[in-house]
Amino acid sequence: HLLYLFLHVQKMSKHTDLTAEVLLEKRGGAGIITLNRPKALNALNLSMIRQIYPQIKTWEQDPETFLIIIKGTGGKAFCAGGDIRAITDAGKAGDRLAQDFFREEYILNNAIGTCKKPYVALIDGITMGGGVGLSVHGHFRVATEKTLFAMPETAIGLFPDVGGGYFLPRLSGKIGYYLALTGFRLKGRDVLKAGIATHFVESEKIPALEKDLIALKSPSTENIADLLNSYHVKSKIDQEKEFVLDEHMEKINSLFSAKSMEEIVKKLKQDGSPFAVKQLETINKMSPTSLKMTLRQLREGASMSLQDVLTMEYRLSQACMRGHDFYEGVRAVLIDKDQSPRWKPAALEEVSDEFVDDCFKPLGNNDLKL
């Protein structure tokens, strides 16, 4: 199951694994970041974050580095998410990692979003959760027919973080709200059509594209855009296919514009179409607390800067670490794999506004500072 992929964790311990989890190299005018945990679908852990962040900052200052490329190894995934298992264990034990992981991950997301050098993410394969945070805030995101995008966090008692509150409400219509609340997966060219990717290139052409990017002499952002466009216009796969959500856009825009989760559910019930019924089934499986948190996160994030969104999301991450549903969601999906989480509270009506307000409260000295 794909949610399992998103949460997949490497079985080998770090000590027996002699290969670096992230490769950082300079080739031509390009700094290249390669996520190198193929068995774990390149899931992002704290030690990788701690290597990537300073390298981006160094390349940003280097006059001989003209662009930064990020990619994954193994052919299956760009990055299937954050290392959820490690965070769960830390959160349960009251370990610092549960604070440090989110704090440092969001600082990295912000570094990507404010990077002064053109940043090119080659999102060839599974790109979910933490992998979206490593790509979506950069200048260029190149999808392929193998790209599989999702923010499936509401299914594990979390929320679409890594700046989801910034980029999701800025997608056209209410697509972002739909993706965030239902965890709907976009594939291939649809990732471009939804506005998440900036370019679409066949997977087999990616090595050639990378070579051409590396070979550019002192390129400007425009030179890089021109090269990406030249590959993009030659890609014919699924060119004629209409956007997977096209036929449902009118419904998505009206149903997901409601101000509360209860109202969204009510509208879905009133609609009664096969599409609406399917969305209800999906939403009913999600953590009610996560759904309420997420809707508010996106509604507020729509008019906030990326920095303010990440500060807000850090507060939410710590609320999830204090709560029940995250640990229960990870248990049900990842550990026992019974796919039957017992959420507390179990119904939307039982998640009080006071509780949700509390999740958004400042953390004083513990707040994320960007």
User: Which residues are annotated as catalytic?
Assistant: 82, 130, 153, 161
202, two tokens: 């066949």
Identify the residue whose tokens are 């959760």.
129
- For 272-300, what is each residue's pLDDT tens digit? 999 999 999 999 999 999 999 999 999 99
Please, are residues 48 and 22 in contact by the beta-carbon 8 Å criterion? yes
Task: Please tell me the distance from the alpha carbon of residue 52 to that of residue 255, in angstroms, as a whole number.
Answer: 40
- Give one DSSP letter per residue of 23-52, joined into a string: EEEEETTEEEEEE--GGGTT-B-HHHHHHH
pLDDT class for 2, splitting at 50, 70, 90?
low
Report pLDDT for 18: 64
Question: Which residues are 212's β-sheet partners?
Answer: none
How remote is the C-alpha of 42 from its chain's centroid? 13
282 is written with which tokens? 């999906």
CA distance 126 to 77: 4
pLDDT in tens, 109-162: 999 999 999 999 999 999 999 999 999 999 999 999 999 999 999 999 999 999
Q: How far is CA 189 from the centre of its chain?
A: 17
Question: What DSSP line would sit under 144-164, residue for residue?
Answer: -TT-EEE--GGGGT----TTH
Gap between the Cα atoms of 281 and 304, Å rounded: 31
DSSP classification of residue 69: E
- Which amino acid is located at 330 in the chain? V
Cβ-contact 201, 232 below 8 angstroms: yes
The count of residues in the chain is: 370
Q: Do residues 188 and 239 touch, judged by C-beta distance below 8 A? A: no
Burial 229-265 (b: 16+ CB within 10 A, else e): eebbeebeeeeeeeebbeebeebbeebbebeebeebb
Rounded to the nearest integer, the mean pLDDT of the chain is 95
162, burial (CB in 10 Å: exposed 0-12, middle 13-18, buried 19+): buried
pLDDT digits (tens, 9 = 90+) for 3-54: 555 655 444 444 445 689 999 999 999 999 999 999 999 999 999 999 999 9
pLDDT digits (tens, 9 = 90+) for 66-80: 999 999 999 999 999
Render pLDDT for 165-224 as a digit per residue (tens, 0 to 9): 999 999 999 999 999 999 999 999 999 999 999 999 999 999 999 999 999 999 999 999
d(CA 338, CA 330): 11
Q: What one-character DSSP code corresponds to residue 348?
A: G
Segments making up each domain of the chain, as ranges: 13-366
Place of tokens 């969204």: 264
Q: CA 22, CA 209: separation in Å to the nearest integer?
A: 21
pTM for this one?
A: 0.94
Residues in a beta bridge with 200: 143
CB 77 within 8 A of CB 54: no
**Domain 13-366: which topology?**
2-enoyl-CoA Hydratase; Chain A, domain 1 (3.90.226)
Distance CA 141, CA 120 (A): 6
Region 90-106 average pLDDT: 94
Structure token digits, residue 234: 């030659």
Enter the tokens of residue 263.
């109202």
CA distance 245 to 173: 11
